[in-house]
Structure 1
Amino acid sequence: MTQETSATPLGPEAEAPARHQPRRIRVPEVTLRFWITQVLCTTVGQTAADLLNEKTGLGLTGVTVSMSTLLAVALVAQFGTSAHRAGVYWLAVALTGVVGTLVSDDLTDTMGVPLETTTTAFAIALAAVFVVWYRRERTLSLHHIDTTSRESFYWIAVLFAFALGTAAGDLAAERTGLGYWLCAALFAAAIAAVTIAHFALGLDAVWSFWITFVLTRPLGASTGHYLSEPAGHGGLGLGTVVTSALFLAVILGLGFRDAVTRRAG
């Protein structure tokens, strides 16, 4: 699924002049490889969050603060690049996935906020980001993320999208009672439905992108749980360490291949 620039969820997309000096776009082109890496990062986001919570002894709040600090460092590096750098970008995405998961889990498990409340709150927050982003920049297209302001809105939206996906995925898992594997299949089917609606029925490209983006989070979480949880809990029993390392290795391998391909070209 690729993102076109013809329309946005808030109406026809106007070509407004950038508020700052345009620069080279630092986000990747939306291709099949983008979505594969996205799902891998969301899986790592879930298993790494579980691993850190289990092993560090800092508690959910302490781990959330620590990982938020690392995310801030990664975003400084991302904003400091002159063009798209796959390793820097996907590191920021993976850390955003970890932080989004931890924030959602901390609100629910530590503070006792119901999943219905967190899901609604994150959905409203994400919608508010889109409204402000569009009113300020007159575009939500990834093809037009060519200023610091637009990229800032993008990363805020990514964080809320991950948090929303975590809360909504946990809520769906609790209400349906399905196992991890069936939940993963359900979210994969939802992504397939959005893809068909986009290519066959003309669903707006920006809507398609962000709906799919949110759905990748519970898909990755369900996959991560299925691989890492013990067999007695409905998983394969690989553990969070092995699962996180496995998916991280694949992400790094894809990034290395991109770098080699770019140099060869």
Structure 2
Amino acid sequence: MESSLRRTMEYSVSKVPQVTLGFWIVKIVATTLGETGGDWVTMSLKLGYLIGSAIFAAFFVALVAGQISARRFQPPLFWATIVATTTLGTTMADFFDRSLGVGYPGGVDIIFALLLLSLLAWYKTEGTVAVRSITTPRAEWFYWITVLFSQTLGTALGDWVAGSDRGGLGLGYEYGAMIFGGALVIVGALYFWPRVSRTAVFWAAFVLTRPLGATLGDFLDKPLADGGLELSRLYASLILLGIVVAWVALVPQRAASHADG
């Protein structure tokens, strides 16, 4: 019994990084990369949202399988999988919003429902959706699917707030970034309120970092006439990728303990 518990805790510790300020900073950079990288494949290369989603889905499944088969926490593998969820989330959200013709509000509704279903299935199966519950391959699949839907929802939210077409609120990328950045600060402050579930705070922050990254990514590569800086999607993506790689290579990271999250 004791050896079984030890193996379970080692699995948990080995797979999930500690959630620190640095974690959230690189998460925002990775989500911004997901926006510019996803747009580069679907728009600049003109492959379309469906083909783009299929390409990134293949990377997502392969990397999650690698995550699950790994015996310990490996920062390069973990963050590569995060980037895969951000790029796939971008193309999936664009497919819902644009290719299916449901508009930004419709896309938000569909993806929000998928996220809730993922969390509900995870909770019903494991009894919790906390990071510390990732003690089996099944729980890890739930974790990554939930991460994917949270990234997709974040993209749809960012487009809905910033965009002026397809039912968007038309607030622009700068105001969109400020709105989501402010909401993220509020959620971060709630972390220190004992009565608020830290698990709920974690997932709320995880969702909010994505629209912040989405609006920042759109601000970098959208045309000047649309309020962007009109930078090359490829060059912006390479710069952001370089930041993520440098952070992973140079900043020490530790696996989360069984009591975290």
Give the shorter-chain TM-score range: 0.7 to 0.9
Gaps spanning 5+ residues in structure 2: where? 255-261
TM-score in terms of structure 1 length: 0.85
AA paired with 1:248? L
TM-score in terms of structure 2 length: 0.87
Gaps spanning 5+ residues in structure 1: where? 1-16
Match in the other structure for 2:176: 183
AA paired with 1:111? L
Contact kept in structure 2, 1:22 and 1:147, CA below 8 Å: no
Match in the other structure for 1:24: 11
Provide Cα deviations, 1:165-189, integer angstroms capped at 9, x if missing partner: 1112212223432221121011000
Choose which of 97, 115, 119 in structure 1 pairs with 2:86: 97
Shift in Å at residue 117 of structure 1? Answer: 2.1
Percent identity, aligned pairs only?
A: 31
Q: Secondary structure at the match of 2:23?
A: helix
AA paired with 2:11? R
Choose which of 230, 245, 248 in structure 2 pairs with 1:252: 245
Match in the other structure for 2:41: 52
* Alpha-carbon distance between aligned partners in 2 of 1:227 and 1:54, rounded to the nearest angstrom: 15
Q: Secondary structure at the match of 1:24?
A: helix
Contact kept in structure 2, 1:46 and 1:98, CA below 8 Å: yes
Number of paired residues? 244
Question: Is residue 151 of structure 2 the alignment partner of residue 158 of structure 1?
Answer: no
Question: Is residue 135 of structure 2 the alignment partner of residue 146 of structure 1?
Answer: yes
Contact kept in structure 1, 2:162 and 2:169, CA below 8 Å: yes
Shift in Å at residue 53 of structure 1? Answer: 1.2
Choose which of 209, 212, 216 in structure 2 pairs with 1:223: 216
Match in the other structure for 1:120: 109
Shift in Å at residue 115 of structure 1? Answer: 2.2
Choose which of 223, 227, 238 in structure 2 pairs with 1:234: 227
* Alpha-carbon distance between aligned partners in 1 of 2:112 and 2:194, rounded to the nearest angstrom: 25
Provide Cα deviations, 1:192-215, integer angstroms capped at 9, x if missing partner: 111112214632101111111111
Match in the other structure for 1:195: 188
* Alpha-carbon distance between aligned partners in 2 of 1:49 and 1:169, rounded to the nearest angstrom: 14
Provide Cα deviations, 1:106-144, integer angstroms capped at 9, x if missing partner: 122222123222211221221122122112112222123
CA RMSD after TM alignment:
2.0
Contact kept in structure 2, 1:23 and 1:147, CA below 8 Å: no
Shift in Å at residue 22 of structure 1? Answer: 5.7
